A and B are shown apart, each in its own frame.
Chain A
């Protein structure tokens, strides 16, 4: 028994040691799911997806129609611009010049003015980032250009320099007379579709994209409202014959501009009652608030189809 116990104990210790040494835990390779970029688009965005032209050339990826090339805005140049501004605003460079005027002889002032003008000129061609700053700069630039002649003189004489400097600290002040400059003076009439490259040919577009003028959500809301109010007679035989198309003219506030006109025709008491019910539904459904005033042009004259089969589907 002794030998057995000894051998067994020794073997166990050996196995345990081996296990401790060999069984190191490796973390699982995290293959993970590939990350998929996800964009949130609203139902409206979806319905406004590029409408294709049927005879367009097939492209690998549908490109949006671009009428105007977007400006590339220099982003990186903003940082140096800020530092430059600070250099000029600091009073340290402004204050010394008067002293040399008094004490120093003529040779000294001469090198300094070029420096100043350099700085001033440096400031002028600053890259424009935001429209407000742009507008302010424009105003300033005009002032500068008016001052230019004096500046030119200043190169010869260092004396007028201090006079020219004071306007600059004024810069951050809010000037009510310059409010007009803050306004966006671009033509509001039309916003061309912009992109990096001009693309005048419409692509085939995404399959099933409708690009309706009215967004799908608005149309659906309108349809749902009318269907809800429409009570076609029970027991319709040929639902296909009961399709009623109604044209309505609407005001911007969503109310009817005139009596709706029925475009389809049919016969029978059933059809008439369905038609009357549809007209009643239109009257009762107004104002159609679900139609956005921004898109009034698209829905001021609209045709609506009442289809009993839709009703059946809706249960």
Chain B
């Protein structure tokens, strides 16, 4: 083939290699993959931002609550001030335990026998609920982190397959003909990685954060349970 012909035929092909151009030239399957991965990326970052804010809020709330709890303030007063509005994490734990305690004392029949066990159960349930709240949507991050590259790879494989078919049809193997199709296909992998890398990083970070906070909750629950147990024994 004449080099001049090659150059001429290559010109229109390589005209648009910008990111938008790559997307528009792609096969519809590849387009679908790209759009899906873009949505995933948006979703991952939304979750990440949301979780970061949530964890910060929770940590601050815990700090504040612990400060109030250990300040020597009367537990009754603390309970009254907290139970008026919905609470989260440690405060919720405290409120649930105190509610159970108060119910056992304010009722007609004083039932000390199973009080300790009931309080533990209530606190366990509250901890589970709190952890569930912290952990919610982390699975999305895990899924995107592990499946994103594969989805991107699928798009790439499909795009390369497609471009090789085009090459076979055009019977021209010059790089100018091959390159745009491959660039466009690789773009899918790039988007997949862009979505998956933050997802994996954030997932690991958040799992660690959830573990830390749940341990803190459990520690407080044990401590509070010990305090209440002492009270029960003293009164009983």
Say yes or no: is B18 at the interface (Cβ < 8 Å to chain A): yes
A8 CA to B18 CA in the complex, in Å? 23
In the complex, which of the residues B18, B38, B41, B48 contacts A4, with contact meaning CB atoms closer than 8 Å? Answer: B48
Asked whether A8 and B42 contact (CB < 8 A) given A1-B50, A3-B50, the answer is yes
- Residues of B bordering A, CB below 8 Å: 14, 17-20, 38, 41-51, 53
In the complex, which of the residues B17, B18, B42 contacts A9, with contact meaning CB atoms closer than 8 Å? Answer: B42
Question: Judging by beta carbons under 8 Å apart, are A25 and B42 in contact?
Answer: no
Query: What residues of chain B lie closer than 8 Å to A23, measured between beta carbons?
Result: 18-19
In the complex, which of the residues A8, A11, A25, A27 contacts B43, with contact meaning CB atoms closer than 8 Å? Answer: A8
Query: What residues of chain A lie closer than 8 Å to B47, measured between beta carbons?
Result: 4
Across the A-B interface, give the 7 residue pairs with the lowest CB-CB distance, nearest first.
A4-B50, A8-B45, A4-B49, A25-B17, A8-B46, A5-B46, A4-B46
Say yes or no: is A184 at the interface (Cβ < 8 Å to chain B): no
Query: What residues of chain A lie closer than 8 Å to B46, measured between beta carbons?
Result: 1, 4-5, 7-9
6 contacts between A and B (CB under 8 A): A1-B50, A3-B53, A8-B43, A12-B42, A25-B18, A27-B14
Question: Judging by beta carbons under 8 Å apart, are A24 and B50 in contact?
Answer: no
Question: Judging by beta carbons under 8 Å apart, are B53 and A20 in contact?
Answer: no
- Residue of B18, B38, B51 with most partner-chain A CB within 10 A: B18
Closest to A23 in B: B19
- Residue of B14, B17, B44, B51 with most partner-chain A CB within 10 A: B17
Question: Judging by beta carbons under 8 Å apart, are A20 and B19 in contact?
Answer: yes
In the complex, which of the residues A1, A12, A24 contacts B45, with contact meaning CB atoms closer than 8 Å? Answer: A12
Query: What residues of chain A lie closer than 8 Å to B42, measured between beta carbons?
Result: 5, 8-9, 12
**Chain A nearest Cβ from B18, distance in angstroms:** 6
A1 CA to B52 CA in the complex, in Å? 11
Say yes or no: is A19 at the interface (Cβ < 8 Å to chain B): yes
A window 110-167: CB within 8 A of B: none
Query: What residues of chain A lie closer than 8 Å to B53, measured between beta carbons?
Result: 3-4
Kindly supply a per-residue 1/0 record for chain A positions 1-45, scoring 1 wherever the CB is within 8 Å of any chain B CB and 0 otherwise.
101110111011000100110011101000000000000000000
Q: How many chain A residues touch B (Cβ–Cβ < 8 Å)? A: 16
A182 CA to B62 CA in the complex, in Å? 116
- Residues of A bordering B, CB below 8 Å: 1, 3-5, 7-9, 11-12, 16, 19-20, 23-25, 27
- Residue of B18, B45, B46 with most partner-chain A CB within 10 A: B46
Closest to A12 in B: B42
Query: What residues of chain A lie closer than 8 Å to B18, measured between beta carbons?
Result: 20, 23-25
**Chain B nearest Cβ from A61, distance in angstroms:** 32
**Chain A nearest Cβ from B176, distance in angstroms:** 10
- Residue of B41, B42, B43, B48 with most partner-chain A CB within 10 A: B42
Question: Judging by beta carbons under 8 Å apart, are A11 and B19 in contact?
Answer: no
**Chain B nearest Cβ from A149, distance in angstroms:** 62
**Chain B nearest Cβ from A23, distance in angstroms:** 6
A16 CA to B20 CA in the complex, in Å? 9
Query: What residues of chain A lie closer than 8 Å to B19, measured between beta carbons?
Result: 16, 19-20, 23
Query: What residues of chain B lie closer than 8 Å to A5, measured between beta carbons?
Result: 42-43, 46, 50
Closest to B17 in A: A25
Closest to A25 in B: B17
Question: Judging by beta carbons under 8 Å apart, are A7 and B20 in contact?
Answer: no
Query: What residues of chain B lie closer than 8 Å to A25, measured between beta carbons?
Result: 17-18
